[in-house]
A and B are shown apart, each in its own frame.
Chain A
Amino acid sequence: MTQNRSSPIIDARHLTRRFGDLIAVNDITFSVYPGEVFGFLGPNGSGKSTTIRMLCGLLLPTSGECHVLGFDVTRESEQIKQGIGYMSQRFALYEDLSVWDNLDFYARVYDVPSDRRRTRLAELVELAGLQGRERQLTGELSGGWKQRLALGCAIVHRPRLLFLDEPTAGVDPVSRRRFWAMIHDLAGEGVTVFVTTHYLDEAEHAGRIGMIHDGVLRALAPPAELKRTALQGQLLDVVSDAPLEAARILNDAPGVRDATVHGTDVHVLIDPETQSAEAIASRLRAAGIAVRAVRPIEPTLEDVFISLIGSPDDRRPVSG
């Protein structure tokens, strides 16, 4: 999986975290290399936030070890802090402070020298597109503005490594697009970005993806490679007049690994040895369903995700 010969900026080995009986993060091992945009993908409650919190030194691992920027997260978390930026899904801003005062506060906390502070702040205001709103109270900003301001606060000290925990939750699509443009700009400047999300379309922005479910790392690869290799079998798109009924019938059919509804279509993963598009179509027609088309398709990340861990909203443990 090593794409980069330089030493990893995040190096997690058998990282585990328990809360009582619950194993939130279960023996995960991965590395992130300088300059990467690393996407950490998983449903709610899968262990994404717990992992990111351990990497930032907010939470101690129960076992395993992890180095961030070359420092041990358990013993040297103080050395890590000046070199990382962290933005949580809650946009930890002071709503009763103005845009400028928020930036200024974090600049002071990160010891940005006073002679450089004004220029840096002006830069961040421009980056976030908040010119003319410097004196506005943060609480009055809409979600997208807050999100960009929170990012500004997280990078006020020019960290080499940026952690984003579900940064786009609750933000409109236009703002999300704009936000990702900012992330790519930062990556272009050499900042390593570790971003968690449960939006599958967003994961496509990442250079590499780790898929986590129930605390277990299920896959780790670039998006294109995941789509090519993660699925065992052939993916078919079935267009019919009764998708729910079709999915139910196909899930019981031999040689079908999985059948799930995607909008008005059904995506069916078959074993090409024992099943075919023609057989699928005739089985459905026999059940009285009008089939308009059955055609092989390229899997999306969503297909990969579902085949690996079940539906994104399904929090039941995967059997087997």
Chain B
Amino acid sequence: MPARVVAIFRKEFLQIRHDRRTLAMVLVLPIMQLILFGYAINTVVDHLPTIVFDEAGDADSRALIGAFQNSGYFEVQAHARSAAELRSLIDAGHAKVGLHLPPDFGNQVLRGESGLVQLVIDGSDPNIAQTALFAAGAVAQARGADIASDSVARTGRSSPSGGIDLRPVVLYNPSMLSVNFMVPGIIGLILQFQTLLLTAFAVVRERERGTLEQLVVTPIKPWELMLGKLLPYTLTAFVAATGAVAGGRILFGVEVTGSLILLGILSVVFLLGSLGVGLFISTISQTQAQAMQTAMFIMLPSLLLSGFLYPRETMPLVIQQLSLLIPLTYYLQILRGIMLKGVGLEVLWPNVLPLAAFSLAVFALSAWRFQKRVG
């Protein structure tokens, strides 16, 4: 690495050491977020995207599916043709709930037995899983009562063992712990906010104190300055994220089920975008206060709309569409996909593509602007 990049890199670390607030941001904030969000957050859910695999295909199975739909908690998105397809649609995040009705569901009901139904739930977000579980239980119970009374009307005798036998399977997060949902989100948040804020501040602070002007008079080249600024905060973000993964495991027992290497690579892609936004903010802000204000414009929507705090499924459609403009939205899908579901690129690519496109575009634009503004 060129000597001048090393000079900047070294200086940033010396400054971090003297700056207690930045130090706290790097070391304490991740753990604080982990504990706060891990224990505290709860949300309300409805209209869960639902996939149906209806092998029975008769009046009774259709009536049950209708009852699920009418409850308001489930939104039937599509019909799967196999159990494997149902599972893969949930893996890919297209649906949160799967409803599997075996071929002899109608016959079981007709015979006055309990109709066996499998309910598959994506447990990565425990709020969603809880709601799905309770709502499905209520629907099945109500539908069971209807079947029983129908059967009484039809046969003239009560069927003692009628109704619906719902067998739930919770995927990815069987114990439905909030923390399994929150930990990947916190990692995304740490990576985004640390890199974005610290990068923007590191440049704007120099402008505010007049040292940027001093640097421009030296033979340092804009790209050397930029690299020297970006690398330290990339490194601290990685340390903090690693800390959060380790903390999630030690404190809450959250394991990374997928590939750590893929997680690392895609995190770099995401970081590039955050660093770019940070750089961009640094080119349009004269003071740290201005940088903070500008950052809030980006951070608040990310926090609220990306699916970090509130499941995107619960948002109005317009907002859901808007959230597709936020890189963190894609990165969260990737994080949860890799950490909880253990899936790979074959499933994640629809999230990876927009994320990579955004990151590269923003980084290139910001780097270009930075060179022009500083040079």
Contact = CB atoms under 8 A, between A and B. Distances in A.
Contact of A108 (B6, B210, B214): B6
Question: What class of interface size applies to chain B in its complex with A?
Answer: 20 to 34
Given A108-B4, A109-B218, A92 B18 contact: no
B211 A93 contact: yes
A108 B215 CA distance: 12
B10 interface: yes
Interface string B213-230: 111111110000000000
A78 B219 contact: yes
Contact of A109 (B4, B14, B209, B213): B4
B217 A94 contact: no
B216 A92 contact: no
A264 to B, nearest CB: 40
Contact of B211 (A56, A92, A110, A137): A92
Contact of B219 (A91, A110, A137): A110
B1 interface: no
A93 B220 CA distance: 16
A82 interface: yes
Given A97-B18, A137-B18, A92 B10 contact: no
A106 B219 CA distance: 11
Interface in A79-105: 81-82, 84, 86, 88, 90-97, 101, 105
B15 A81 contact: no
A56 B18 contact: no
Interface residues of A, number: 26
Interface string A133-170: 00001000000000000000100000000000000000
Contact of A95 (B4, B7, B11, B209): B209
A97 B216 contact: no
Residue among B10, B14, B18, B217 with most chain A CB within 10 A: B217
A3 to B, nearest CB: 28
B170 to A, nearest CB: 51
Contacts of B215: 109
Contacts of A84: 217
B217 A56 contact: yes
B11 A90 contact: no
A57 interface: yes
A58 interface: yes
Contact of B213 (A58, A78, A96, A111): A58
A96 B15 contact: yes
Interface of B: 3-4, 6-8, 10-11, 14-15, 18-19, 209-211, 213-220
Given A81-B217, A90-B210, 11 more contacts: A58-B213, A58-B216, A58-B217, A88-B210, A91-B210, A93-B211, A97-B14, A101-B14, A109-B8, A109-B215, A110-B219
